[in-house]
Amino acid sequence: MQKVIVGNHAVSWGVKLARTEVIPAYPITPQTQIVEELSEMCASGELPARFIKVESEHSAMASAVGASAAGARAFTATSSQGLALMHEMLHWAAAARHPIVMADVNRALGPGWNIWTDQTDSLSQRDTGWLQLYCENNQEVLDTTIIAFRLAEALDLPVMLVLDAFYLSHTSEPVDIPDQALVDSFLPKREAHYKLDINEPHAFNALVKPDDYMEMRWHMHDAQRRALELYPQIESEWLALTGRYYGMIEPYRTDDAETVLITTGTVTSTARYVIDERRSRGEKVGLVKIKMFRPFPVEAMRAALKGIPRIAVIDRNISPGNGGIFAQELRSALYGSDSDAAPQFNGYIVGLGGRNVTPDTINGIIDHVQSGETVDRPDIWVGVKA
């Protein structure tokens, strides 16, 4: 079934098709439509889930933790301040190994108040133990929501799917809504590997001494890394059912490329347009879209960028005092992988707080990196007023 829906509702449809059982939720712009739609679905009986109208995002994540610990499939959604408020429970959900799925609609953090897109909210949660998947269009949002539950429940780790505020969340696109039977065959009812059970009483999360704490964190880290093998397998199944595949990363027109952009989210679509235009003029340019940020696909990125002389990372986020976060991650991933031919590597900061990233912005970045102008800073801010 084809429907024209906004990105937020693509999440809601994915959550419904996943037969989610418990949805604790708290409103925040620009996420709110996700849970409004789910609330309607629950009220009408279309989705027989428990919708808990909690009093904060912190409680939203805490309730999702409780529901998941008791064996239910749990989902919530948030943005920006709400995600920051959840921070403590994000660590809790991951280290207690609860396969919760959450949508984060990327929104800038205050102050000053800003509701527009910016990736710093989700990237600030880098070390919580959550997997992170960034989406480019509404179809990818719906598909990734369903895939996220498969991945989470296989690994006993929570998964955050991430979409840009307004460019996706409030933008309508045609989306193929898969049949329920198809989704059921791909994502059966959750069978919890362990849960709160009166017939088999255990204590969860008790005091752990230094003798055991490190092992627990090692297991969590190891499960994250297993996603690098598991995710392509799960996506291949999805491909067989739907004909759609996204990949942890997606190289686009990188064969023989001499300049490659690194993009995430909706900036990727704008960059594809620019790449096509410049390719038609004979320029050797391409891009690599990063979908999976945690675990970071180090080997896949090394392979995709092998022999590329010029790399320009486009970051819609900032780690003050160091620079763009994708640039930092990628620079670290590539270090020492091709020591004979280290590429020119520039990081560009764009579009913070929802500032528009246009084809002109992208062209400016390509022109700059191709000029070979050396920069003494790890980050180049694009279009900042004097």
Nearest to 28 by CA among 77, 87, 84, 90: 77
Between 127 and 215, CB nearer to other proteins: 215
Between 42 and 271, CB nearer to other proteins: 42
Between 40 and 197, CB nearer to other proteins: 197
Q: How far is the CB of 55 from other proteins (least distance, A)?
A: 3
d(CA 21, CA 6): 23
Contacts of 291 (CB under 8 A, 6+ apart): 133, 134, 135, 136, 246, 247, 248, 249, 250, 264
Nearest to 227 by CA among 154, 162, 303, 298: 154
Determine the residue type at 300: A
Q: How many CA atoms lie within 13 A of 217 on its CB side?
A: 10
E strand intervals along 20-128 = 22-25, 50-53, 75-78, 101-106
Q: How far is the CB of 93 from other proteins (least distance, A)?
A: 11
Q: How far is the CB of 95 from other proteins (least distance, A)?
A: 11
Between 57 and 118, CB nearer to other proteins: 57
The contact set with other proteins (CB under 8 A) reads 21-22, 24, 48-50, 52-56, 58-60, 62-72, 74, 88-89, 92, 196-198, 200-209, 212
Q: How far is the CB of 22 from other proteins (least distance, A)?
A: 5
d(CA 166, CA 184): 30
Between 70 and 84, CB nearer to other proteins: 70
Between 125 and 264, CB nearer to other proteins: 125
Q: How far is the CB of 56 from other proteins (least distance, A)?
A: 7
Between 59 and 363, CB nearer to other proteins: 59
* Residue 142 structure tokens: 């719906």
Yes or no: say if 266 and 106 are a contact pair by the CB < 8 Å rule: no
Q: How far is the CB of 16 from other proteins (least distance, A)?
A: 15
d(CA 370, CA 102): 39
Yes or no: say if 324 and 318 are a contact pair by the CB < 8 Å rule: yes
3-state secondary structure at position 323: strand
Q: How far is the CB of 15 from other proteins (least distance, A)?
A: 15
- Please give the C-alpha separations between residue 111 and each of 32, 57, 66, 72, 169, in angstroms, as whole numbers: 20, 19, 32, 37, 22
Q: How far is the CB of 88 from other proteins (least distance, A)?
A: 6
- By CB atoms closer than 10 A (0-12, 13-18, 19+), residue 337 is middle
d(CA 322, CA 169): 29
Q: How far is the CB of 121 from other proteins (least distance, A)?
A: 21
Between 63 and 80, CB nearer to other proteins: 63
Between 50 and 302, CB nearer to other proteins: 50
